[in-house]
Amino acid sequence: MSARPPVRGRFRTDERARAAYAEGAGIYRIVPRAVCLPADVEDLAALVRWAAAERVPLVPRGAGSAMPGGNVGDGVVVDLTAMAGPPTAVRPEERRATMRAGAPLGELARAAGAHGLRLPPDPSSWRWATAGGVVATNAAGARSVRYGSVRPWVDALEIVTAEGAVERLDRAGRQRGGAPGDRFAAEVAPAIRAAAPLVRARFPATRKNSCGYALDAYLRSGDLLDLVVGSEGTLALVTEVTWRLDPVPAHQAGLRVDLAGYDRIGEVVERLLGFGPSAVELLDATFLDLVAGDGRLGPNLAPPAGTGAVLLVELEGDDPAALREALQSAAAAVRRLALRVQPALATDEAERLWALRHAASPILAGLPPERRSLQVIEDGCVPVPRLGEYVAAVRAAAERHGLAAVVFGHAGDGNVHVNLLPEVGRPGWERAVGALLEEVTDAVLRLGGVPSGEHGVGRLRAGFLERLYGPEIMELFRRVKAAFDPAGILNPGVILPGGDPPIARLKAGAGAAPLPADVAVALREIERTGRYDTPRLALADGG
């Protein structure tokens, strides 16, 4: 970098500030060149114009809770959480809300909840995940089984383009996104439309997909907005989000299904889906054994002997009689396939189980340092009928490579999260993790799935996209990127792969980049506790 950018916000190049932004929630530790916290949208636009002129990479970042490495990098990390802007504004009569991209979804939940409204997709990180972050990855959560990912709930975006212009995108293409939109319309859109049969053939028929640019969604809507959602900061920097909202249902009911194993889990889940559940979540025996060991389950929640997996099912609606009937019918439909079915759990028991599910990643991150939790194969999504085969493939690969693995996730979508627990003091553990990643990715593709259902590609999975889509689709991806970001400054190495192998520049092990000791301890504490809302510069400044 030849000079400091002309920004009013904070811009830091000192070692401690750069160290504080070297990690996110995933596996990487990459110390950036600098850190910038723009003061407002105009300040961010000035930063981007400087970066374009100087050819300096920018790494946009919210809370840093995304796992596949799109929030760390060698360039200037751009922290959008401190940008000034109006508070979240809810328009209840329109069922719309507008908020700063750097504000957390928890702020939206409070503001919308006051009007009996909500954003139905339910990322478990909603307390700290920022609006821009969930848009960047097309995030989802437990309720995506009924409501989908966030993409259809995004009504409009304000963006800063790669040339430093402030533009808006909305549904029905009323606002075209300035120069990038014009380039795209002239140079890329005709090629995508011509390739529509190939797109339909190559995009897997999974319930969720956060792998690359959503050409399939764009073909359905014609909206540039659908390409920016899920683009992981590689096409534009999102600064404001307008959401569609939905009323909070008046009633909920719960069902717990204990299974002996995975042989018929696809059939069980498909039967449950016939009753319109809002969530079907999986807690594997590996996870239940882990939390039982520290007393979190208690005797009333402990599964019966021989349990291989537990499904938590949520149904919701405004008619209590209809809800009760659906719950009873769902229980009857799966009873002969289960060890035990418990409808209408006691409220405190249901809340405790759901709390464990939402806290799964922080619980695993809090394990002792010799058994480090790493999110490497943590977002595979397969067609629901192949779910049991996928879990079996993961377990077999983990056993082959001597790696412990904990399984949980969104069974209703076939979207399984897996946390590896390697012994990081053991020689060669990195090679074992890399080999397992290759094997499990091959299994995902063989089963008709995608490597990421909701967390995004990041740096971790970018190199696998050509296996998924083929060279023709990847060429369309490159053309989309070139239209939006001709200088290639926005999050290089994300979606379109860079030169690094996926298992490199890790935060754990002997090869991890050195950081000031107190900053490293503070970053580990954020990971252990899930406090991703912690201001990172406070770590650098000893706060």
- In three-state secondary structure terms, 22 is coil
Question: Is residue 213 domain-shared with residue 292, that is, in the same domain?
Answer: no
Other C-beta atoms lying within 10 Å of the C-beta of residue 514? 10
Residue 436 contacts by C-beta under 8 Å, 6 or more apart in sequence? Answer: 376, 377, 397, 398, 400, 401, 403, 420
Distance CA 365, CA 373 (A): 5
Entry pTM: 0.94
Torsion, Cα 314 320 322 328, to 10 degrees, reads 50
Question: Is residue 239 domain-shared with residue 292, that is, in the same domain?
Answer: no
Q: Are 167 and 238 in contact (CB under 8 A)?
A: no
71 pLDDT above the threshold of 70: yes
Question: Is residue 169 domain-shared with residue 141, that is, in the same domain?
Answer: yes
Domain ranges, residue 150: 89-247
Angle in degrees, CA 231, 234, 235, rounded to 5: 80
Position 477 in a domain: no
Question: Is residue 242 domain-shared with residue 255, that is, in the same domain?
Answer: no
Which of these three, 429, 458, 487, is where a domain ends? Answer: 458
Which of these three, 320, 338, 358, is where a domain ends? Answer: 358
Other C-beta atoms lying within 10 Å of the C-beta of residue 478? 13
Question: Is residue 27 domain-shared with residue 153, that is, in the same domain?
Answer: no
Question: Is residue 409 domain-shared with residue 316, that is, in the same domain?
Answer: no
Position 214 in a domain: yes
Q: Are 212 and 227 in contact (CB under 8 A)?
A: no
CATH number, residue 418: 3.30.70.2740
Which of these three, 194, 227, 247, is where a domain ends? Answer: 247
Q: Are 17 and 59 in contact (CB under 8 A)?
A: no
Position 469 in a domain: no
- Pair of tokens at residue 324: 């009760």
pLDDT digits (tens, 9 = 90+) for 221-237: 999 999 999 999 999 99
How many domains does the structure of the chain reveal?
A: 4
Q: What are phi and psi of 474, to 5 degrees?
A: -65, -35
Q: What is the pLDDT of residue 376?
A: 95
368 pLDDT above the threshold of 90: no
Q: In whole angstroms, how far apart are CA 433 and each of 423, 436, 507, 516?
A: 11, 5, 14, 27
Q: Are 480 and 235 in contact (CB under 8 A)?
A: yes
Distance CA 464, CA 446 (A): 13
Question: Is residue 227 domain-shared with residue 259, that is, in the same domain?
Answer: no
Position 154 in a domain: yes
Position 16 in a domain: yes
Question: Is residue 372 domain-shared with residue 451, that is, in the same domain?
Answer: yes
Distance CA 325, CA 275 (A): 10
pLDDT digits (tens, 9 = 90+) for 244-262: 999 999 988 889 999 999 9
Q: Are 496 and 234 in contact (CB under 8 A)?
A: yes
- Pair of tokens at residue 460: 């971790």
Distance CA 436, CA 419 (A): 12
Q: 303: which DSSP letter?
A: P
Question: Is residue 344 domain-shared with residue 453, that is, in the same domain?
Answer: no
294 pLDDT above the threshold of 70: no
**Nearest partner of 128 among 71, 81, 59, judged by Cα:** 81
DSSP labels, 226-269: HHHTTSTTSS-EEEEEEEE-EEPPSEEEEEEEEES-STTHHHHH
Average pLDDT (536-543) is: 88
391 pLDDT above the threshold of 80: yes
Question: Is residue 210 domain-shared with residue 271, that is, in the same domain?
Answer: no
Question: Is residue 98 domain-shared with residue 220, that is, in the same domain?
Answer: yes
pLDDT digits (tens, 9 = 90+) for 518-535: 999 999 999 888 899 999
